[in-house]
Chain A
């Protein structure tokens, strides 16, 4: 990412903002949706009563509907773009989880989204009675898939929000609320989903066999009976198509990325860490210092995991600094915020060139000397990066 950031800092900023913005839209959507599921713990009826407010808004209002769809597409494309520019796939576990979850979302989600659309196409209201009936009774495998999807989507979103929050200094207090929230909501939603399922499962299969009062779908499908098989067939085909397209794109991007990495010239650099917990290793060039460190299983402070926002990965360059390209905008701002000395750089931003490099950690890997009071409070990090 940093390579392109140097090329066009303005574009990088815009991309970052777009990524965060679209991600937030979808996160809010998922949050509301899960909140709706949570109500299943009370009863299926409550869940259904709140459906128009919590879930319906996103399909009933055109603005929100298009915003959501647009967000999904933009977010996906941006993600592909940044995947293309990733130098290494050996990333910290959180990033890995986010990446994998991101790839999985569309294949998992397709069935649900197109299924609901098909229900509408049939002229039915997608009540929870119908949808959950589909998931728990008609096709339980789909139900299993939904749980996976819920978790995957939530993990992806939560990691994104978490990373965004964490790179702000003042977020410690916010984190105290964020952590419980991020765990409690999906858990309650899952419990709600299970409980609601138990309620609608027929009695002879161990459930309670409940039905809704004044079910809007009492009359059955309202479309032309001839269309029904067509619509159902569509609902089956579309998710497959979406899956193929999305996975195809990902594969394509990965291939292109591989080509890009294959073509770049490679050299070897010897990196030496001085100070506490000294270490030394040889690595291919083209990676950032932080990526090299991770590749060599060494501990290193990196709160924002290499996004160039937190400044905890700073290192003091002791030798070999001449070869490094000067800090770009993003890095310079972070460094300025920390009142860094001139020889300090961000490990996640510098890309050592061939030769020797000797550095020293500014902040220890266990964060024992991390002290946010040393930053200039005035500038918030979001402003610094955006």
Chain B
């Protein structure tokens, strides 16, 4: 399928060009009206201009104009009348064609007559000399330019290119260089020629030829841009050098024949119409005859090119193409060219354009899709290769290290990230965008061909204008909505796909909140787009949408009142999420509720207390919210030691514990700043309070604290530092005579007195 499309791409381009070329012959041949009405004579024109200058006439024109400044329309024709007019014009066309057909055998003679009478032999040959001279001048200047651009061009052509984007850049650069050369050629040939004055007919003829040469070169350069027959690195189309060279050749032949036909047609018509001034009569028919003949030759060449291309190219392709498909498209193009030619012949130019444009847009869309796909496939493949090479390099480096024995025991092989296609979102968007541009271009062309100004359709009251207006408005709305929807959907879906739920025990990343919001957004967007498109289509079709809008508005208000708190919850929720106030799995505190966020819904969230209670909190209720799981947590601990403790030693020991904690393989990495002593925080009656602190990632502090307490106690113990205990020394003056029991009783009483009635201090809130 791909292969077939490849061939098609070029053939189609060719046809397009032919058709346009044919169509361009139309004006010069004298269309439907021209055959009937000869051009006004110079005297008539003068008279007309004089009348326009006449104040009384101006006054009359002003009077007969309507308020909006336009003249009153001619009475609108009924459908029947229109058909009649159309048939009449076809008949007239047929008549002039018949006349042309009669003249055809005598054409060379008649033309020779006209030709002879208008230009002397010397003038003709001189014209040829001028054409040659100025072409050579242009070419010489271009060659000079090329000489200076040679090296850059060579670099562009030869530099290895892996990614298609590089290819595209290279191709564009090369095209820019070549087009600049063409510009120089144009200035050198046409510009130099224009700077002399010439006999008017000679000037017109020479200019026609120079312009045609330029046209030909532009077409071949465009073909060169896509096919790059001699620089495979720059080729944008997906086929090999032989095919490219072959198709480039065909493009050149086609372009040459078309350009020659155009130039000849212009030239002959120019001579013919110049003669008409003094001869009158059959010259129009002569011109028509030769235009038809030339157009027919062009059609023949096009047919031949299609035929040859479809025969030859499959042999040159590496991969097999489907014969049936191939045959279908060949016949399709054949018939298309034929029909277009026939409609042109009959004089139905509007129909011709419609057939041509629609006929080309259908395969054009397919080709474009295939081409864009190919482009992205290549890009992805190139990136994948690169990625694979990088991964291999990493693994190789690791293996080498392992062999040398540099690898630490138990160190796992480095993980290689999986390949992710960066173009996955871009592809559908580009596809839709390109489709949009192509279709819009087609509509625009069609409108131009029909002589309808699409920016001013509302002024057009004809049926066709109305239909076209509705059609264009709806298509534009649909396409635009489709474009926006595709873009939003791919972006949203990609983000949802990319979301990885956090592993148990780990804090979730910021993506978690988008994961909540995105589906909601997608639905909202879809509904909005649907409503907008249907409203605008209805509007275009002439339905008055004001009542619908009003109705919807009243409904909206009613529903709004009814669901006030629901709406408040949803809106508040969106803003909380946008603010990134909390994420799934975070430990938060709302008012007097606290716990881990377990689920987030559109209206409310669910918090689980660490003892298992589940709270459901609607967002509308949230005033403020405290999040315990953000970035870092500082934890401060205190130890009481006796006054005679060696503080230096304590500092050293704490430092040691800190290092140990840091080295722990489980929670070590989560410690942001390890345990360190803050010195004596305060003095109490019987002891000093030594403060220590550490900083960890949220959620890890409890574990660290547990270990820190234990380690500090052990190490103090081992180094003979006692923790201060609350002891009451009871001194009884002269109490040497007291018995052991008495002493005990006294101590107990004293202790009670010292502790006071409060009882033991309140515990610090427990860890979750």
Which residues of A approach B to under 8 Å, CB–CB? 136-137, 140-141, 143-144, 147-148, 151, 179-180, 182-183, 186-187, 190-191, 193-195, 197-198, 201, 205-206, 276-277, 297, 299, 364-368
Residues A143 and B144 in contact, CB atoms below 8 Å apart: no
The listed residue with most B CB atoms (<10 A of its CB), out of A187, A198, A276, A299, is A187
Tell me, rounded to whole Å, the shortest Cβ–Cβ distance linking B564 to chain A: 72
Chain A residues positioned under 8 Å from B199 (CB to CB): 205-206
Residues A194 and B133 in contact, CB atoms below 8 Å apart: yes
B716 interface contact, C-beta 8 A: no
Q: How far is the CA of A112 from the CA of B1 in the complex (A)?
A: 61
B128 interface contact, C-beta 8 A: yes
B residues 176-201 with Cβ under 8 Å of A? 188, 192, 196, 198-199
B residues 132-149 with Cβ under 8 Å of A? 132-133, 136-137, 140-141, 143-144, 147-148
Closest to B201 in A: A206
Residues B140 and A179 in contact, CB atoms below 8 Å apart: no
Closest to A186 in B: B140
Q: How far is the CA of A367 from the CA of B728 in the complex (A)?
A: 97
Residues A143 and B198 in contact, CB atoms below 8 Å apart: no
Residues A187 and B141 in contact, CB atoms below 8 Å apart: yes
Residues A147 and B136 in contact, CB atoms below 8 Å apart: yes
Q: How far is the CA of A193 from the CA of B202 in the complex (A)?
A: 17
Query: Known interface pairs A190-B137, A191-B192, A205-B199. Does A143 touch B143 (Cβ–Cβ under 8 Å)?
Result: no
Residues A144 and B151 in contact, CB atoms below 8 Å apart: no
Q: How far is the CA of A143 from the CA of B125 in the complex (A)?
A: 9
Closest to B120 in A: A205
B159 interface contact, C-beta 8 A: yes
Query: Known interface pairs A206-B202, A366-B159. Does A141 touch B125 (Cβ–Cβ under 8 Å)?
Result: yes
B296 interface contact, C-beta 8 A: no
Residues A140 and B141 in contact, CB atoms below 8 Å apart: no
Q: How far is the CA of A186 from the CA of B199 in the complex (A)?
A: 25
Residues B126 and A197 in contact, CB atoms below 8 Å apart: yes
Tell me, rounded to whole Å, the shortest Cβ–Cβ distance linking A136 to chain B: 7
Tell me, rounded to whole Å, the shortest Cβ–Cβ distance linking A267 to chain B: 27
B710 interface contact, C-beta 8 A: no
**A-B pairs with beta carbons under 8 Å apart, 7 shown:** A143-B125, A147-B133, A180-B144, A205-B123, A206-B198, A365-B154, A366-B158
Q: How far is the CA of A375 from the CA of B685 in the complex (A)?
A: 94
Query: Known interface pairs A206-B198, A206-B199. Does A144 touch B136 (Cβ–Cβ under 8 Å)?
Result: no
Residues A140 and B155 in contact, CB atoms below 8 Å apart: no
Chain B residues positioned under 8 Å from A182 (CB to CB): 144
Q: How far is the CA of A295 from the CA of B130 in the complex (A)?
A: 38
Tell me, rounded to whole Å, the shortest Cβ–Cβ distance linking A336 to chain B: 27
B121 interface contact, C-beta 8 A: yes
Chain A residues positioned under 8 Å from B241 (CB to CB): 297
Chain A residues positioned under 8 Å from B738 (CB to CB): none
Tell me, rounded to whole Å, the shortest Cβ–Cβ distance linking B483 to chain A: 42
B122 interface contact, C-beta 8 A: yes
Query: Known interface pairs A144-B125, A186-B140. Does A366 touch B196 (Cβ–Cβ under 8 Å)?
Result: no
Tell me, rounded to whole Å, the shortest Cβ–Cβ distance linking A2 to chain B: 26
Q: How far is the CA of A141 from the CA of B121 in the complex (A)?
A: 10
The A contact surface, by secondary structure, is: helix
Q: How far is the CA of A206 from the CA of B196 in the complex (A)?
A: 12
List the 4 closest pairs (A to B, CB-CB), nearest first. A206-B199, A140-B125, A366-B158, A183-B144
Closest to A146 in B: B129
Residues A205 and B122 in contact, CB atoms below 8 Å apart: yes
Residues A299 and B158 in contact, CB atoms below 8 Å apart: yes
Q: How far is the CA of A127 from the CA of B241 in the complex (A)?
A: 55
Tell me, rounded to whole Å, the shortest Cβ–Cβ distance linking A381 to chain B: 20
Tell me, rounded to whole Å, the shortest Cβ–Cβ distance linking A166 to chain B: 11
Residues A147 and B155 in contact, CB atoms below 8 Å apart: no
The B contact surface, by secondary structure, is: helix
Q: How far is the CA of A277 from the CA of B196 in the complex (A)?
A: 51
Chain A residues positioned under 8 Å from B148 (CB to CB): 179
Q: How far is the CA of A141 from the CA of B129 in the complex (A)?
A: 8
Chain A residues positioned under 8 Å from B147 (CB to CB): 179
Residues B154 and A367 in contact, CB atoms below 8 Å apart: yes
Of A147, A179, A299, the residue contacting B132 (CB under 8 A) is A147
Closest to A180 in B: B144
Closest to A136 in B: B126
Residues 603-630 of chain B: 1 if any A CB is under 8 Å from the residue's CB, otherwise 0? 0000000000000000000000000000
18 additional A-B pairs beyond A179-B147, A187-B136, beta carbons within 8 Å, are: A136-B122, A144-B129, A147-B129, A147-B132, A179-B144, A179-B148, A180-B144, A183-B141, A186-B140, A187-B137, A191-B137, A194-B196, A197-B126, A206-B123, A366-B154, A366-B155, A366-B159, A367-B154
Tell me, rounded to whole Å, the shortest Cβ–Cβ distance linking A240 to chain B: 20
Tell me, rounded to whole Å, the shortest Cβ–Cβ distance linking B66 to chain A: 51
Of A140, A186, A276, A277, the residue contacting B129 (CB under 8 A) is A140
Chain B residues positioned under 8 Å from A147 (CB to CB): 129, 132-133, 136
Tell me, rounded to whole Å, the shortest Cβ–Cβ distance linking B209 to chain A: 14
Residues B158 and A140 in contact, CB atoms below 8 Å apart: no
Residues 145-179 of chain B: 1 if any A CB is under 8 Å from the residue's CB, otherwise 0? 00110010011011110000000000000000000
Tell me, rounded to whole Å, the shortest Cβ–Cβ distance linking B123 to chain A: 6
Chain B residues positioned under 8 Å from A179 (CB to CB): 144, 147-148
Residues B202 and A143 in contact, CB atoms below 8 Å apart: no
Tell me, rounded to whole Å, the shortest Cβ–Cβ distance linking B190 to chain A: 14
Residues B137 and A368 in contact, CB atoms below 8 Å apart: no
Residues A194 and B154 in contact, CB atoms below 8 Å apart: no
Chain B residues positioned under 8 Å from A148 (CB to CB): 132
Closest to B148 in A: A179
Chain A residues positioned under 8 Å from B137 (CB to CB): 187, 190-191
Chain A residues positioned under 8 Å from B130 (CB to CB): 194
Closest to B245 in A: A297
Chain B residues positioned under 8 Å from A151 (CB to CB): 136
Of A144, A195, A201, A365, the residue contacting B158 (CB under 8 A) is A365
Closest to B122 in A: A140
Tell me, rounded to whole Å, the shortest Cβ–Cβ distance linking B229 to chain A: 10
Closest to A194 in B: B133
Chain A residues positioned under 8 Å from B158 (CB to CB): 299, 364-366
Closest to B153 in A: A366
Residues A190 and B136 in contact, CB atoms below 8 Å apart: yes
Residues A198 and B196 in contact, CB atoms below 8 Å apart: yes
Tell me, rounded to whole Å, the shortest Cβ–Cβ distance linking A97 to chain B: 11
Chain B residues positioned under 8 Å from A206 (CB to CB): 123, 198-199, 202
Chain A residues positioned under 8 Å from B196 (CB to CB): 194-195, 198
The listed residue with most A CB atoms (<10 A of its CB), out of B130, B158, B188, B199, is B158
Of B155, B188, B230, the residue contacting A368 (CB under 8 A) is B155
Q: How far is the CA of A366 from the CA of B160 in the complex (A)?
A: 11
Tell me, rounded to whole Å, the shortest Cβ–Cβ distance linking A157 to chain B: 14
The listed residue with most A CB atoms (<10 A of its CB), out of B128, B132, B140, B148, is B140
B residues 684-739 with Cβ under 8 Å of A? none
